[in-house]
């Protein structure tokens, strides 16, 4: 609400500056949005008399006016010609400033004629928006009078934010009441007396109200003999400063009183009202009406219209129509001042999307008691500004409603506010707000005036009391909370999720909750399973997001477009699907894309599946999610060969994988895009904060690198699990460090390399050289398939063991075995261990038979038939490691890659039937390859790079492959946690 | 085999060997040279050894003289050898280290760093302050219904906030009441419905308004809601609580102002402004030249709201407050345009490494 300061002072003559008043009002809840001085840019404009208007010699449109400004004459070029010789006009001479122009005026030549400034239009002076004519002034002042002083344009406008429940403050009077209450300066209400003619208004027109509920009161006054024209300049200036357009004196009078008193009114041309009467009725369903803005509106039966006997002439309380509009030809005016039910006006203006000054005030419930006084004041102003006579009395249908009566208990006020306030204080405080309050027994009885419809119950009055008494006088106390604070489990859990991903090097992003049809399509969500938004902020995204992935992909595309080299982002947020009801779930998603690093030390590679998986591992490990595995590829939009479902306790809780290139390209992401998305709620069900410290091992490990040549389709995780299970409790840690395909590994096979730490809790293990010859054994699988198995062995004995090496006194260290128990091939038991007690006695007899399936359920996943998993393989000593594992230029994992060393891999073979195939002998065979002796000879000829011989298992040994690719630090910590470490893929996976 | 040397011969040999030895050692340019010199001086066939072996055949007085001299020479030579060896070893070590020299101004190797979103950072700071004050952090759904979002909060059916212009409604067949929560206040209702008083909770979360995207507004933003309902909760408790919180969050020297305001679900209503922490109250662009920044709406829980959840408003009173913290984060970190918060630009996000 823009309040013109001088207007406010007419109703409550405060001596405060606008800034001081603004501060005072904000303590009362009436906050200032801005303070402006609209005529700050006006100076030097004076009143001048037009002496002569003549044609411009070089222009048909322009003219030249000669004017007298009191102390001299000037010639000015003018674009319009509505001024005549003898008229008074505002002259802005050289050096003068007007609000509409940024620079002061100067003498300048316009088409060969020198113009000494300008004669101003109302627009240029900020009086109204009219720029089609020169402002011709009333002829009652001498030439040379300062224009700004003459019309009091040192005006200040304070724009106040009025709270939604305070209709009364949408008027100068309402604000003046607050000022009066805050300062104690008495209110001077507007003059509502009006000189009336003898003729009663009731004889000039009729009013019929057909809907008394929506229109409880309708009052009409009649003014005869008006001559519409411009309003006084000061009135126009006030309307403009208040944000309204001056139109004509009749209309301006109603707007002026609306701004002043808060009562919207409407003038009709009485002569154009059919039957000289008003009918207030509901609109016909589908009734059409052209409003004053020239738009045809279609009404409903719920809308209230003002009509005459023949037609609707306005939408009640919202907008008039051209049908009975006041025009220059109008002589008789019917002035409407009515009270409409707030709900009716709100609904109509909302439905028609038509919000006007009137509908805003009625919609908040205007003061029903202001109907008559506002009409009297407006009628008086019309007569004053437009001439004519106000007919006696009014046509008044309905009556003001009864005032609401409430009571306030001072002790209730004290309970809520925290300080005692007496009944007398309460009554006094309310009295300052012009609210009649009276102390009776122990309560204060209140009669709520019409201008305060917001006061509906006791608590509202208590607020008024503390508002008057001052929020600044309230003390500051704290409640005595008797319980500890804390986080809901969901909040706590989300924090752990975020922290883990930040530690894993991802950046948190946030995106809006909406999705396009293409996003749904991408994620394979049917439109019917999407949650539609009725009024989406963007028409392109009419759904709630079913997944966080599309928005993250868009973020990658945006970053790429801005020249960023990739990004690693995550988001935790809600996603929505429709499944009968709306399913709202919390998800966490991450995307990685671009180079693995930048600059000097960066690895020259692209982020890919394993980076996403690494982040996923970091996440689930830090959350203490126990058993989780990867399952089948989830299908579109995920890459069929580089994605998997994430399964916890047999249930899919998410996906990890690379996006199909086609999908990534849709979002303009460059290169591979890997991502994961998990259900946070399901994740939290399997998470744990429990940590039990395991003893730090006192004995050094024996480290052996083992490679297995297996069918290329066998998951590395299955082999790892087999190694783990076969090694039993002595396996302390398994780190997978290479995958190799290509010559000399046969077509369709791959070599998997693991570094295995063996450790006994109670004594030192020492590795000794194998005494077993290289060779082939025939080994019967339980289902009759005969599989060739190559072998080498590791033997391990304890330091200080008195028994000589190689005498086979140890027990077998069953690194490899088969499902279901072997009957033959027990001579795989080459490895020895000094302490039979570490093994179950049955192991010794059973030989290769492991306690349960070698390839455990963890690898295969529940619900999958993994009984067919079998493996036979032999361990590989370091120096026997295939060349590709030794050389720094370790080959990639891609099939068919050229092997730089050209040497054959060692004779390590594993044979693991394909998961899911019937375990009836269709197992895939490993293939024998390589001879150790030849390889060993070559190694020995190699010189410095060849590892030192003997003393294996002690101290750091050179690694045969490129340094830096290994995830495990030398002598790094190991523990049960690490035993899981490698199942999920190799971080040391060399790529080039 | 020749006769053993006489004492004079021996002494002459020792002098010669001493001179030769010192010269050899002095000329040794490597540890290997020193080793060779040692062999040449003290080897089994070296003159020195010959002298030593001959000692036994000398008369006693000569033996003592020659022996003494032998020891002197041996000691001097050994000392020279040791000294030279140490010098050469040290030289070699220096050379090896020199070979190992690197350019220390090259960039260090860094682990890939992650970062929290600035809105998360601010949210965590806010809720941590409240947990220290004894509040429990709870959360609610983003999809709400009209009853929780409006009716239960005393927001009347004709309230302007209920239009599609302000509230984002869903279009779910059979569920016309569903919408995206316009504020975190529905969680007041859910919390009070779920548990009897006393209740002390704060609720952070995402809220939705149907607004166009501009530099200052987004259709999605964040609020944190607070609710305290107990016997004897007073308006002054609200003032003290929010003042403590704002000073904790924004600085102890901050001025806080509580003025009246209107929200349908509180009465009396209030808003809290803080002295502009950019200009200190003298007026700047951040505070729109008024010196104060509006930070939150608050008030005493409206008795009708308490009735709506089955609490007795004559027995229990409470206060509630709510603040959007997107703008707070913008001011805090000097973010000029709210859209930046939602663009996931890595150049923006990476600036929050190590924060939070």
Q: From chain B, pick out residues whose CB is under 8 angstroms from the CB of A485.
A: 130-137, 200
- Chain B contacts of A507, Cβ < 8 Å? 114-115, 117, 346, 349-350, 352
Closest-CA residue in chain A for B119? Answer: A510
The answer, for B198 touching chain A at a CB cutoff of 8 Å, is: yes
Cβ separation B259–A31 shorter than 8 A: yes
Backbone angles phi, psi at B126, to 5 degrees: -65, -50
**CATH number of the structural domain A196-398:** 3.50.40.10
For the domain bounded by A489-685, which CATH number is listed? 3.30.930.10
Instruction: Give the distance from residue A595's alpha carbon to the nearest chain B alpha carbon, in angstroms.
Output: 12
Identify which of A889-898, B84-93, B277-286 has the greatest average pLDDT. Answer: B84-93
CB A833 within 8 A of CB A813: yes
Lowest mean pLDDT among A408-417, A622-631, B193-202, B285-294: B285-294
In chain A, the residue whose alpha carbon lies closest to the alpha carbon of B201 is: A485
Q: Do B268 and A555 touch (CB under 8 A)?
A: no
Q: Does B302 touch chain A (CB under 8 A)?
A: yes
Q: In the prediction, which pLDDT does A880 show? A: 42
pLDDT score, position A806: 40
Please name the member of A509, A535, A581 whose beta carbon is closest to the beta carbon of B344. A509
> Do the chains contact at B171 and A347, CB–CB below 8 Å?
no
Protein fold of A43-150: OB fold (Dihydrolipoamide Acetyltransferase, E2P) (2.40.50)
Question: Of the candidates B112, B348, B347, which has an alpha carbon nearest to the alpha carbon of residue A502?
Answer: B112
**What is the ipTM score, two decimals?**
0.86
Q: Do A552 and B344 touch (CB under 8 A)?
A: yes
Q: How confident is the model at residue B259 (pLDDT cuts 50, 70, 90)?
A: very high
- What are the C-alpha distances in Å from A878 to residues A678, A743, A935, B62? 40, 20, 12, 66
Q: What is the pLDDT of residue A586?
A: 97
Farthest-apart Cα atoms in chain B, separation: 135
List of residues 6+ apart from A477 with CB closer than 8 A:
A418, B234, B236, B237, B239, B240
Torsion-angle region of B143 (φ positive above 0: left; ψ -120 to 50: alpha; else: beta):
beta
Interface of A with B in 888-927 (CB under 8 A): none
> Where does residue A387 rank: exposed (0-12), middle (13-18), buried (19+ CB within 10 A)?
middle
Residue B129, chain A, CB below 8 Å: the answer is no
**Nearest by CB: B262 against A27, A165, A478:** A165
Instruction: Find the CB nearest A417 among B138, B198, B235.
Output: B235
**CATH code, A408-471:** 3.30.56.10
List the single best residue of B108, B117, B233 to mutate versus A (max A Cβ within 10 A): B117
Contact in structure between A95 and A106 (CB atoms under 8 Å): yes
Chain B nearest-CA distance from A357, in A, is: 15
**pLDDT at residue B2 in the model:** 64
Chain A touched by B236 (CB under 8 Å): yes
**Interface A-B: count of C-beta contacts within 8 A:** 259
Judge whether A408-471 and A489-685 match in fold.
no
The pLDDT assigned to A765 comes to 62
**What is the Cα–Cα distance from A172 to A181, expressed in whole angstroms?**
14
Between A873 and B313, the more confident residue is: B313
Is A163 part of the contact surface with chain B (CB cutoff 8 Å)?
A: yes
Residue with the larger pLDDT of the pair B329 and A973: B329
Q: Tokens at residue B311, please?
A: 């609490």
Strand partners, B229: B199, B318
Residues 18-77, chain B, touching A (beta carbon < 8 A): none
Number of C-beta neighbours around residue A424 at 10 A: 12
Give the pLDDT of residue A771.
32
Instruction: Give me the CATH topology for the region A2-38+156-183.
Output: Phenylalanyl-tRNA Synthetase; Chain B, domain 1 (3.30.56)
Residue of B nearest to A536 (CA): B168
Q: Is A249 on the interface with B (CB under 8 A)?
A: no
Q: Do A564 and B350 touch (CB under 8 A)?
A: no
**Portion 254-293 of B in contact with A at CB < 8 A:** 257-262, 264, 267-271, 288, 290, 292
Closest residue of chain A to B345, computed from CA coordinates: A559
- The count of C-alpha atoms lying within 13 angstroms of the C-alpha of A549, restricted to the half-sphere facing its C-beta, is 29
Instruction: Note the pLDDT tens digit of each residue in B104-140.
Output: 888 888 777 899 999 999 999 999 999 999 999 999 9
Q: Which residues of A touch B142 (CB under 8 A)?
A: 513, 574, 584
Q: Select from A29, A466, A531 the Cβ nearest to the Cβ of B261.
A: A29
Among candidate residues A77, A171, A579, A555, the one with its CA nearest the CA of residue A362 = A171
The chain-wide mean pLDDT, for chain B, equals: 90
A503:B114 CB<8 A: yes
Residue B125 at interface with chain A, using a CB cutoff of 8 Å: no
What domains does chain B contain, in order, with CATH numbers? 7-99 (1.20.58), 118-352 (3.30.930.10)
Closest Cβ–Cβ partner in A457, A475, A569 for B236? A475
Chain B nearest CA to A162, separation (Å):
9
Q: Which of A623-632, A846-855, B218-227, B299-308 has the lowest mean pLDDT?
A: A846-855
Whether B130 and chain A come into contact, CB under 8 Å, resolves to yes
Query: Is residue A495 a contact partner of residue A487, using CB atoms and an 8 Å limit?
Result: yes
Span B214-231, mean pLDDT?
Answer: 94
The verdict on a CB contact (< 8 Å) between A486 and B131 is: yes
SS3 at position A681: helix
Q: Which of residues 576-615 of A touch B (CB under 8 A)?
A: 576, 578, 581-582, 584, 597, 599-601
Chain A residue with Cα closest to B180:
A533
CB contact under 8 A, B134 and A481: yes
CB of A549 within 8 Å of any CB in chain B?
no
Q: Cβ–Cβ of B239/A477 closer than 8 Å?
A: yes
Distance CA A418, CA B237 (A): 8
- Looking at the partner chain, which of A363, A485, A584 has a beta carbon nearest the beta carbon of B141? A584
Residue written as token pair 């009191």: A70
pLDDT value at residue A772: 30
* Residues of A with Cβ-Cβ distance to B212 under 8 angstroms: 537
Non-local (6+) Cβ contacts of B128 within 8 A are none
Q: Does A463 touch chain B (CB under 8 A)?
A: yes
Q: Which pLDDT does position A809 carry in this prediction?
A: 31
CA A225 from chain centre, in angstroms, equals 61
Which residues are paired to A48 by β-bridges? A89
Taking an 8 Å cut-off on Cβ atoms, the answer to whether B260 and A471 are in contact is yes
Token output for A108: 């300048």
Q: Do residues A358 and A306 touch, judged by C-beta distance below 8 A? A: no
Q: Which segments of chain A have a pLDDT < 50?
A: 767-992
Strands (E) across A260-403 are located at 265-269, 277-282, 288-290, 296-298, 304-307, 312-315, 319-320, 333-339, 389-392, 395-398
Residue of A nearest to B157 (CA): A343
Q: Which structure tokens are listed for A857?
A: 């359920």
**Average pLDDT in chain A:** 78
Report chain A residues whose CB lies below 8 A from the CB of B210: 535, 537
Confirm or reject contact between B355 and chain A (CB < 8 A): no
Domain ranges of chain A: 2-38+156-183, 43-150, 196-398, 408-471, 489-685, 702-979
């Amino acid at each position: 609400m823009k309040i013109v300061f001088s207007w406010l002072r007419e109703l409550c003559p405060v001596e405060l500056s606008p800034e001081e008043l603004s501060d005072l009002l904000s303590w009362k809840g009436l906050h200032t949005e801005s303070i402006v001085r609209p005529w700050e840019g006006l100076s030097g404009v004076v009143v001048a008399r037009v002496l002569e208007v003549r044609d411009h010699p070089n222009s048909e449109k322009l003219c030249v006016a000669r004017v007298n400004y009191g102390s001299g004459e000037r010639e000015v070029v003018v674009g319009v010609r509505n001024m005549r010789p003898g008229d008074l006009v505002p002259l802005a001479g050289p050096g003068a400033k007007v609000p509409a122009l940024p620079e002061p005026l100067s003498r300048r030549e316009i088409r060969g004629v020198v113009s000494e400034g300008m004669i101003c239009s109302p627009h240029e002076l900020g009086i109204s928006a009219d720029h089609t004519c020169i402002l011709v002034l009333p002829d009652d002042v001498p030439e040379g009078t300062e224009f700004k002083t003459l019309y009091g344009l040192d005006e200040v406008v304070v724009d106040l934010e009025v709270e939604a429940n305070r209709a009364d403050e949408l008027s100068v009077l309402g604000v003046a009441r607050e000022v009066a209450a805050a300062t104690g300066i008495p209110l001077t209400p507007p003059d509502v007396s009006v000189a009336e003619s003898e003729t009663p208004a009731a004889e000039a027109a009729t009013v019929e109200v057909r809907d008394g509920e929506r229109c409880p009161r309708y009052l009409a006054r009649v003014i005869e003999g008006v001559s519409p024209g411009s309003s006084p300049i000061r009135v126009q200036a006030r309307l403009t400063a208040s944000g309204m357009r001056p139109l004509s004196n009749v209309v301006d009078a109603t707007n002026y009183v609306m701004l002043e008193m808060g009562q919207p009114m409407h003038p009709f041309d009485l002569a154009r009202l059919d039957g000289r009467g008003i009918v207030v009725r509901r609109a016909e369903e589908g009734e059409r009406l052209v409003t004053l803005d020239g738009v045809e509106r279609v009404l409903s039966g719920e809308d209230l219209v003002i009509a005459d006997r023949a037609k609707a002439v306005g939408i009640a309380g919202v907008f008039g129509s051209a049908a009975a509009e006041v025009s220059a030809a109008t002589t008789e005016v019917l002035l409407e001042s009515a009270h409409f039910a707030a709900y009716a006006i709100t609904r109509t203006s909302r439905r028609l999307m038509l919000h006007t000054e009137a509908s805003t005030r009625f919609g908040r419930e205007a003061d029903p008691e202001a109907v008559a006084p506002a009409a009297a004041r407006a009628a008086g102003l019309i007569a004053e500004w437009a001439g004519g006579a106000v007919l006696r009395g009014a046509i008044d249908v309905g009556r003001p409603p009864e005032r609401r009566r409430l009571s306030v208990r001072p002790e209730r006020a004290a309970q809520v506010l925290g300080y005692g306030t007496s009944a007398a204080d309460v009554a006094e405080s309310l009295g300052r707000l012009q609210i009649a309050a009276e102390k009776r027994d122990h309560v204060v009885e209140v009669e709520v005036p019409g201008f305060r419809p917001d006061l509906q119950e006791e608590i509202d009055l208590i607020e008024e009391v503390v508002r008057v008494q001052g929020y600044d006088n309230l003390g500051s106390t704290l409640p005595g909370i008797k319980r500890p604070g804390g986080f809901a489990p969901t909040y706590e859990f989300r924090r752990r999720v975020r922290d883990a991903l930040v530690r894993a090097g991802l950046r948190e992003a946030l995106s809006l909750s909406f999705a396009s049809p293409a996003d749904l399509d991408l994620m394979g969500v049917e439109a019917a399973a999407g949650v539609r938004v009725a009024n989406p902020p963007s028409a392109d995204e009419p759904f709630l997001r079913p997944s966080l992935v599309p928005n993250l992909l868009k973020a990658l595309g945006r970053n790429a477009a801005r020249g960023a080299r990739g990004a690693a982002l995550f988001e935790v947020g809600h996603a929505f699907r429709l499944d009968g009801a709306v399913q709202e779930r919390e998800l966490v998603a991450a995307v990685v894309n671009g180079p693995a690093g930048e600059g000097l030390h960066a690895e020259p590679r692209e982020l890919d599946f394993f980076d996403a998986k690494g982040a996923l591992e970091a996440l689930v490990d830090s959350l203490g999610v126990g058993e989780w595995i990867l399952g089948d590829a989830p299908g579109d939009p995920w890459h069929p060969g580089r994605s998997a479902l994430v399964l916890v306790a047999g249930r899919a809780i998410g996906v990890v994988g690379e996006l199909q290139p086609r999908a990534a390209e849709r979002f303009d992401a460059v290169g591979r895009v890997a991502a994961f998305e998990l259900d946070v709620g399901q994740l939290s069900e399997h998470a744990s904060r429990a940590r039990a410290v395991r003893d730090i091992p006192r004995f050094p490990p024996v480290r052996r690198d083992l490679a297995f040549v297996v069918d290329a389709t066998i998951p590395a995780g299955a082999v790892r699990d087999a190694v783990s299970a076969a090694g039993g409790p002595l396996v302390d840690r398994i780190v997978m460090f290479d995958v190799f395909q290509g010559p000399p590994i046969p077509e369709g096979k791959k070599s998997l390399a693991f570094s295995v730490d063996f450790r006994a809790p109670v004594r030192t293990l020492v590795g000794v050289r194998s005494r077993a010859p290289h060779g082939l054994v025939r080994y019967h699988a339980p289902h009759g398939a005969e599989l060739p198995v190559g072998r080498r062995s590791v033997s391990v004995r304890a330091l200080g063991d008195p028994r000589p090496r190689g005498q086979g006194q140890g027990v077998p260290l069953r690194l490899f075995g088969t499902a279901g128990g072997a009957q033959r091939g027990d001579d795989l038991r080459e490895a020895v261990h000094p302490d039979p007690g570490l093994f179950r006695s049955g192991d010794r007899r059973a030989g290769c038979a492991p306690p349960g399936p070698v390839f455990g359920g963890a690898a295969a996943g529940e619900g999958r038939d993994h009984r067919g998993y079998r493996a036979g393989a032999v361990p590989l000593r370091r120096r026997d490691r295939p060349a590709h594992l030794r050389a720094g230029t370790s080959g990639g994992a891609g099939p068919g890659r050229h092997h730089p060393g050209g040497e054959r891999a060692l004779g390590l073979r594993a044979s693991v039937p394909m998961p899911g195939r019937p375990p009836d002998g269709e197992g895939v065979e490993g293939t024998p390859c390589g001879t150790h002796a030849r390889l060993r000879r070559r190694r020995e000829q190699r010189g410095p790079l060849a590892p030192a011989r003997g003393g294996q298992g002690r101290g750091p040994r050179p690694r045969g492959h490129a340094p830096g690719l290994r995830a495990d630090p030398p002598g790094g910590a190991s523990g049960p946690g690490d035993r899981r470490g490698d199942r999920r893929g190799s971080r040391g996976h060399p790529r080039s | 085999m020749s006769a053993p040397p006489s004492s004079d011969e021996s002494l002459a040999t020792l002098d010669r060997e001493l001179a030769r030895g010192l010269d050899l050692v002095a000329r040794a340019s490597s540890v290997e040279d020193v080793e060779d010199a040692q062999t040449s001086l003290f080897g089994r066939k070296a003159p020195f050894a010959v002298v030593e072996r001959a000692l036994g055949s000398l008369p006693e007085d000569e033996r003592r003289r020659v022996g003494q001299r032998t020891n002197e020479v041996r000691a001097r030579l050994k000392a020279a050898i040791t000294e030279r060896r140490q010098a050469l070893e040290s030289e070699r070590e220096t050379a090896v280290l020199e070979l190992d020299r690197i350019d220390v101004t090259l960039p260090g190797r860094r682990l890939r760093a992650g970062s929290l979103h600035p809105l998360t950072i601010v949210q965590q700071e806010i809720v941590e302050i409240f947990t220290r004050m004894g509040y429990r952090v709870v959360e609610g759904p983003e999809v709400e219904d009209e009853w929780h979002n409006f009716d239960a909060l005393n927001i009347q059916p004709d309230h302007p906030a209920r239009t599609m212009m302000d509230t984002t409604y869903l279009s779910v067949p059979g569920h016309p009441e569903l919408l995206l929560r316009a504020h975190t206040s529905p969680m007041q209702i859910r919390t009070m419905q779920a548990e009897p008083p006393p209740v002390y909770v704060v609720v952070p979360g995402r809220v939705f308004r149907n607004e166009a995207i501009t530099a200052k507004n987004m259709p999605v933003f964040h609020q944190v809601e607070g609710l305290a309902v107990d016997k004897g909760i007073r308006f002054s408790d609200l003032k003290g609580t929010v003042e403590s919180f704002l000073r904790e969050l924004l600085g102890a020297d901050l001025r806080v102002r509580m003025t009246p305001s209107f929200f349908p679900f509180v009465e009396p209503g209030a808003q809290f402004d803080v002295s502009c922490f950019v200009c200190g109250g003298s007026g700047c662009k951040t505070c729109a030249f008024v010196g104060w920044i509006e930070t939150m709406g608050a008030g005493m829980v409206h008795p009708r709201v308490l009735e709506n959840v089955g609490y007795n408003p004559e027995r229990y009173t409470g206060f509630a407050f709510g603040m959007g913290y997107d703008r707070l984060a913008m001011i805090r970190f000097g973010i000029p345009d709210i859209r930046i918060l939602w663009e996931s630009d890595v150049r923006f996000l990476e600036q929050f490494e190590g924060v939070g």
